[in-house]
Amino acid sequence: MTQLPAPPPAQPFFLDGGAAARFCLYHAPAGDCRGAWLYVHPFAEEMNKARRMAALQARALAQQGYAVLQLDLHGCGDSAGDFGDARWATWRDDVARGMRWLHERTGRQPGLWGLRLGGLLALDVAASLAPAGLLLWQPVVNGGQFLTQFLRLKVASQMLTDGDGGGTAALRQALAAGEPLEIAGYTVDPALALAFDAIDAAKAAPPCPVHWFDIVADAQRPVSPAAARVIDGWRQHGAVVHAQAVAGPQFWATQEIAESPALLEATLHAVTEACHAA
């Protein structure tokens, strides 16, 4: 792989101001710009656990001539608003704003790089935003299942404090009644939760090439059955999907901050190979 001069340091800035302020880190490409990627981060605490991996991958891509924008969505990280104010529609708008900024800055139509729920968000907006490609790290394939898993954190906490978790069905009823929930230190508004609850990746065949990475415990394992079903369905609808299982830690959920060098390398290889083939 050709080594280009070191890219400049990442540039922090706020996209717009006031209530519309979104904190960004822009990684300018080393040398001529080969392409552009907008990173769509995961949900709640997974965002914080994944920051290091996102930064490492962004730097590696910039080193090879790709512009990368890391954008904190509304109510997340250092962007304006509280997490309880976040809405799926606002997050969709944030992704669109980030893509416009990248396109104006680089002259390239950006691709979307999403991790976990960020992958599902990237898929949800892909039909209307027409990204150059999708780079998916362990994407959530079913919003309803993801919400149920997140609600179980609340159930577990209730069991520890009250001896009765009540179950996820009761929590879903509370959301349906318009009651915000405090879960693992995050206030989740019903409008946000119920919006992604209804999204199924299997019904959203992407209009652009996809590189899908499943993180597995053992290098001999294939992508998960759930991922394989979605990918096969997309391919039947004509989507071009390159799927790969990569051995490494689930860094978005580990107790300590973790890295996956194999995922960094595999992602960089996939992106550069796709660029050469274009």
pLDDT tens for 195-216 read: 999 999 999 889 999 999 999 9
Q: For residue 165, is pLDDT > 60? A: no
pLDDT band per the 50, 70, 90 thresholds, residue 4 = low
Please name the fold of domain 11-141+203-277: Rossmann fold (3.40.50)
Q: What is the mean pLDDT of residues 140-153?
A: 96
Q: For residue 3, is pLDDT > 60? A: no
Mean residue pLDDT across the chain: 93
R_g (Cα) of the chain, nearest Å: 19
Q: How far, in Å, CA of 113 to CA of 96, rounded? A: 13
Q: What is the mean pLDDT of residues 118-140?
A: 96
The residues, ordered by sequence, that sit 6+ positions from 273 with a Cβ below 8 Å of its Cβ are: none
Q: What is the mean pLDDT of residues 153-162?
A: 80
Least confident of 7-21, 84-98, 120-134: 7-21
Instruction: Please give the pLDDT value at position 212.
Output: 98
Q: What is the mean pLDDT of residues 43-51?
A: 97
One-letter amino acid of 158 = Q
Instruction: Please give the pLDDT value at position 274.
Output: 76
Least confident of 8-12, 187-191, 258-262: 8-12
Domain boundaries, the chain: 11-141+203-277, 143-198
CB-CB contact of 153 with 183 (8 Å): yes
What is the token pair recorded at 50?
């994944």
